[in-house]
Amino acid sequence: MSYEIRVEKTNMPKPKPDMTKLGFGNYFTDHMFIMDYTEGRGWHDPRIVPYQNLCLDPATMVFHYGQAIFEGLKAYKAVDGRILLFRPEQNMRRINISNERMCIPPIDEEFAVKAVKELVMVDKDWIPEEEGTSLYIRPFIIATDPYLGVRPSHTYKFIIILSPVGAYYPEGINPVKIYVESNYVRAVRGGTGYAKTPGNYAASLKAQVEAHEKGYTQVLWLDGIERKYIEEVGTMNVFFKIGGRVITPALQGSILPGITRDSTIQLLRSWGIEVEERSISIEEVYEAHQKGTLEEAFGTGTAAVISPVGELNWNGNIITINEGKTGPLSARIYETITGIQYGKIEDKFGWIQEVK
Amino acid sequence: MSYEIRVEKTNMPKPKPDMTKLGFGNYFTDHMFIMDYTEGRGWHDPRIVPYQNLCLDPATMVFHYGQAIFEGLKAYKAVDGRILLFRPEQNMRRINISNERMCIPPIDEEFAVKAVKELVMVDKDWIPEEEGTSLYIRPFIIATDPYLGVRPSHTYKFIIILSPVGAYYPEGINPVKIYVESNYVRAVRGGTGYAKTPGNYAASLKAQVEAHEKGYTQVLWLDGIERKYIEEVGTMNVFFKIGGRVITPALQGSILPGITRDSTIQLLRSWGIEVEERSISIEEVYEAHQKGTLEEAFGTGTAAVISPVGELNWNGNIITINEGKTGPLSARIYETITGIQYGKIEDKFGWIQEVK
């Protein structure tokens, strides 16, 4: 796409929030990117405009039939002052995978990366510089026909918004307690589990709320068919280190093909550590725990990078992992990926793109 | 809820569309109902206002995590001029079932029926009077926190919009051709299949599009576990008449508890026809077809009331039902339910509520 991005800058910049108390997803920058899709005309009119409300007919299809997708990535202020993105082309590739499943027309991936970079440059003063902070980038697409029949929309909006976010671990990386979910199912093969679409997240809320009430941070999802094989942890991919080898559920259509998941696998293999992508049952994890070969467990995702699991509750069986402490491998992956993201460690994989 | 509904009438009424060419879900009336929810305060500020855009922060949770539910019902202009609703209390009960699954705070069901009636009265000139037309009523709730973390929203909007709709069968009730879906899954037990939530509809689009491309109107969904048991047809519940008895899939969490489904079961039983709510496999339907005992098949839903199935394509096996014509039982149910809805037939079941 050879389009120029029209830029209309705000003349009323917002006051910046206290960059030491950001939290996640609470504050938004001065500008946003929008591009429209009309059937027959394609994607058109890409523009960066002042951050503003979307004014939509109440019949707009996204409200009723949830035809939408999103992504999440971050811009990091490197130690040398550069602004870095981590594998943004992978997010845009995944947008098109999600789009295909949700019957949304494809975007030009390269152009979308360019749009992210231009928007980040316009709002570069919003990138926080405190340790562990970043500028969260949320591209999303919504169906915009004002129409109540069930069919794919003929019009869409592709939008990118930016949110300065605090360190995920302000007090250092810390293991979480996870409840193994036996009642609710997140997704099933043949469904939308591999797409980053709102409905998957809506479906996950109830289990999350009930896990919180029981004193757990998140749930471990089991497969929807046999309720036996491990899928994801909360909204993250999940890894287990058992007897020196690392195991993570294979991508079979019901789990998200995480970019941090892929980066973790590449890193581990580059370190000579064996990684198995295959089905892994909760029984296998429990038996490894009983035998004393369960060494570490952790989630991977853009927000936390690595989230060590300190305890699993499986129908009342408590599986304590590495004495509830962050394992050395979890820590090493975390330090390496975040090190690459903040430009502290050499990027041997070509994962980093600079925003200029 | 003892709230009064504040009414602000438009001073710019829209021109009415050609009531003989309405289609479905294309036109919207002059007013809408809105009520807000704020944590700690509950539902508040119910109001009928001129139909207007919703202006929402692009970070509004419904765009990203799909936390939302909706309903669909109709107001009918009876032959004697009365305005009738069909079992509206059932829609409002189902809103709360959907709300519970999606972590949305419950509404006052009785008040919601009252809100529907008041809104319909305000826009009563929009109820079309042609044969088979009606005023479609779309209540829906969306999560409105401008926040990007995955958790239930703390604020919501409950909205009702109205759309005059044409006859579903302008040329008389007509059977459709249905493709039995083997690749895609709509929902699985433990998921959100029984809730009327946008994600279920988003998940169904791809199969619908592919069925259209093959020359079929809709898909017949099979269960997500064994890919064997029948669930729904398109966005409707489904019934089969085999050897004089009527069979419909039992409500086990993955299918929508349809109000037309329930009305159909009550009607059939009142006529002395046996109805079995149980698992029914596609093999059973195919075998009945082979034996010559498959008499009729039809979908039930608010939009069409009854949608006869004339043909099923199951992996290339063509199952022609009642020679591709509308069966006598399908026709009788259709005539009876629509007869009650339009006040032509006595309502022995207490299904009708008049709007005054």
Cβ within 8 Å, pair B184-A201: no
Give burial (CB, 10 Å; 0-12/13-18/19+) of A11.
exposed
Name the H helices within B52-136. 61-65, 88-102, 109-122
Q: Spell out the SS3 assignment of A83-104.
A: EEEECHHHHHHHHHHHHHHHCC
Mean pLDDT score, B148-167: 97
pLDDT score of A167: 87
Mean pLDDT score, A197-213: 97
Contacts of B56 in chain A (CB under 8 A): 53-56
Q: Which of A160, A183, A185, A232 to mutate to test the interface with B (most CBs of B within 10 A)?
A: A185
Give pLDDT tens digits for B39-53.
Answer: 999 999 999 999 999
Nearest CA in chain A to B136: A148
Contacts of B74 in chain A (CB under 8 A): none
Mean pLDDT score, B13-37: 96
Residue B244: CB atoms within 10 A of its CB come to 10
pLDDT score of A67: 98
> What is the C-alpha separation between A202 and B150, in angstroms, rounded?
9
Give pLDDT tens digits for A78-96.
Answer: 999 999 999 999 999 999 9
Q: Which tokens hold the place of A79?
A: 């130690």
pLDDT score of A126: 98
Residue B251 has pLDDT above 90, yes or no: yes
**What letter represents residue B309's amino acid?**
V
Contacts of A62 in chain B (CB under 8 A): 62-63, 198
pLDDT score of B192: 96
Hey, what CATH class is B176-341 in? alpha beta
Mean pLDDT score, B113-127: 98
DSSP A141-158: EEE--B--SSS--SEEEE
Give pLDDT tens digits for A257-290.
Answer: 999 999 999 999 999 999 999 999 999 999 999 9
Cβ within 8 Å, pair B59-A138: yes
Give the number of A-B residue pairs with CB atoms closer than 8 Å. Answer: 220
Residue percentage of chain A with pLDDT more than 70: 99
Indicate the pLDDT class of residue B2, thresholds 50, 70 and 90: low
Give pLDDT tens digits for B253-287.
Answer: 999 999 999 999 999 999 999 999 999 999 999 99
Residue B53: CB atoms within 10 A of its CB come to 13
**What letter represents residue A170's amino acid?**
P
Indicate the pLDDT class of residue A172, thresholds 50, 70 and 90: confident
HSE of A156 in the Cβ direction (CA atoms, 13 Å)?
A: 26
Cβ within 8 Å, pair B192-A202: yes
Q: What was the ipTM of the complex prediction?
A: 0.97
Residue A157 has pLDDT above 90, yes or no: yes
Contacts of A146 in chain B (CB under 8 A): 28
Give pLDDT tens digits for B284-339.
Answer: 999 999 999 999 999 999 999 999 999 999 999 999 999 999 999 999 999 999 99
> What is the C-alpha separation between B258 and B340, in angstroms, rounded?
17
> What is the C-alpha separation between A116 and A355, in angstroms, rounded?
9
Residue B346 to chain A, least CA–CA distance (Å): 31
Q: Which of A56, A150, A156, A168 to mutate to test the interface with B (most CBs of B within 10 A)?
A: A150
CB B231 within 8 A of CB B186: yes
Mean pLDDT score, B226-253: 96
Select the residue of B51, B55, B199 nearest A53 (Cβ to Cβ).
Answer: B55
pLDDT score of B48: 98
Q: What average pLDDT does chain B have?
A: 96
Mean pLDDT score, B80-104: 98
> What is the C-alpha separation between A259 and B3, in angstroms, rounded?
50
Cβ within 8 Å, pair A192-B205: no
**What letter represents residue B118's amino acid?**
E
Q: Which of B32, B98, B140, B185 to mutate to test the interface with A (most CBs of A within 10 A)?
A: B185
Question: The CATH number of A6-165 is which of 3.40.1260.10, 3.20.20.300, 3.30.470.10, 3.40.50.11060?
Answer: 3.30.470.10
Residue B162 to chain A, least CA–CA distance (Å): 10
- Mark A99-135 as b/e (b = at least 16 C-beta within 10 Å): bebbbbbebbbebbbbbbbbbbebbeebbbeeebbbb
Contacts of B62 in chain A (CB under 8 A): 62-63, 198
pLDDT score of B1: 53
Minimal CA–CA distance to A139: which of B201, B153, B58, B199?
Answer: B58
pLDDT score of A319: 97
Q: Which tokens hold the place of A83?
A: 């602004």
Contacts of B191 in chain A (CB under 8 A): 184-188, 191, 203, 224
Taking CA atoms, A253 is separated from A193, A302, A323, B318, in Å, by 6, 20, 33, 29
Question: In 3-state terms, what secondary structure has residue B35?
Answer: strand
Nearest CA in chain B to A136: B148
Select the residue of B26, B163, B209 nearest A152 (Cβ to Cβ).
Answer: B209
Indicate the pLDDT class of residue A170, thresholds 50, 70 and 90: confident
Give burial (CB, 10 Å; 0-12/13-18/19+) of A340.
buried
Select the residue of B57, B147, B202 nearest A199 (Cβ to Cβ).
Answer: B202
Residue A1 has pLDDT above 70, yes or no: no
Give pLDDT tens digits for A292-349.
Answer: 999 999 999 999 999 999 999 999 999 999 999 999 999 999 999 999 999 999 999 9
Residue B171 has pLDDT above 80, yes or no: no
Cβ within 8 Å, pair A25-B149: yes
Mean pLDDT score, A238-267: 97
Indicate the pLDDT class of residue A171, thresholds 50, 70 and 90: confident
Contacts of A159 in chain B (CB under 8 A): 58
Taking CA atoms, B26 is separated from A93, A268, B42, B95, B164, in Å, by 34, 54, 33, 24, 8
Nearest CA in chain A to B52: A57
Cβ within 8 Å, pair B198-A202: yes
Residue B100 has pLDDT above 60, yes or no: yes
Domain borders along chain A are: 6-165, 176-341
Mean pLDDT score, B149-176: 93
Q: Which tokens hold the place of B195?
A: 């809730």
Cβ within 8 Å, pair A152-B224: no
pLDDT score of A134: 97
